[in-house]
A = this chain, B = another copy of it.
């Protein structure tokens, strides 16, 4: 493997010194880019785009051609694991992901087995290998998976949900069944992420999109606990470097202290939490990643630069910060505004890393 030319992301996640704050954007490979939409159209449907390594590689690299980003993130779907478990993932226009066979009973849970990443999810590993080769050491590649709780919500609800009636019914009345499902998923995610590392992923992120719909107690018992299991089971050294792990719970601002004790290297936070306050609360245990409101991209370039400056100042001097949005970029965002963000982060952050 060629030497990594830009290792700012890895260094910042491990709270090592950097010259400027690294920046990447959640969903940076996505619908806001016309070149993405062109590939998506050529692919015909979203699932083909995800399962064809050459296309996944192409859209992963697209944002790096436009912007001075400090990381690539594997283009893939969050629901590859339940799909490989045989639940029949498909995408309906306007309604998002759906499963033909939702998981509802103990028999459904017991029927699930942990997919073998190199056979059942080979297309993902092939994409990782291809992207690493094409990146040629330019920036590190982030691998990812959904958290067990988040995967379970889709599997039990049969798709997206607003009120989580089915999974909360299971959690409240069938906690043993719920735990068994989450345990199976934790083992599946661990194997999947370790295979991504073996294939070339240089950092890992767990997306806990729906942990924030739980009470603090249930979050710890049904979401954070299984992320901790995963973190403990991950390959943390590869190619002679440490592989940092980022946890991201949307709406998780109230639980940062618990997340910081999970064994992860960094926590992603959204814009409802003040970054400076979050830094105090995690007390040097982890790096932080965030936390610009994606809606700021609707504002003028001057206002965007101002907001980047405010966020950098809020974190302050020193190690352990990765700049990102607090959630995925909106499909209707203007790509030119992304360039404003990326350039402003590099330019305005230098002062916080000098001396």
Contacts and interface: CB of A to CB of B under 8 A. Distances in A.
Contact of A172 (B213, B217, B296): B296
A107 interface: no
A92 interface: no
Chain copies in the assembly? Answer: 2
A122 interface: no
Interface stretch (A33-41, A73-81, A95-103, A270-278): A270-278
Interface residues of A, number: 32
A165 B295 contact: yes
Contacts of A163: 294-295, 330, 332
Contacts of A217: 274
Given A165-B330, A169-B295, 19 more contacts: A163-B294, A163-B332, A165-B295, A165-B298, A165-B332, A168-B296, A168-B298, A169-B298, A172-B296, A172-B300, A172-B303, A173-B300, A214-B272, A215-B271, A215-B274, A216-B272, A251-B272, A253-B254, A254-B272
A1 interface: no
A216 B298 contact: no
A273 B295 contact: no
Nearest to A216: B274
A91 interface: no
Contacts of A271: 215
Interface in A211-266: 212-217, 251, 253-254
Nearest to A298: B169
A105 B38 CA distance: 35
A299 interface: yes
Contacts of A296: 168, 172
Contacts of A46: none
Contacts of A253: 254
Q: A163, A216, A272, A330 — which one has the most chain B CB atoms within 10 A of its CB?
A: A272
5 contacts: A165-B295, A168-B296, A169-B298, A172-B300, A216-B272
A189 to B, nearest CB: 24
Nearest to A303: B172
Interface in A159-217: 163-165, 168-169, 172-173, 212-217
Contacts of A118: none
A293 interface: yes
Contacts of A164: 295
Interface in A301-323: 303, 307
A164 B293 CA distance: 11
A295 B332 contact: no
A172 B299 CA distance: 6
Given A212-B272, A215-B272, A272-B212, A169 B299 contact: yes
A350 to B, nearest CB: 24
Q: A172, A251, A277 — which one has the most chain B CB atoms within 10 A of its CB?
A: A172
A272 B252 CA distance: 9
Contacts of A214: 272
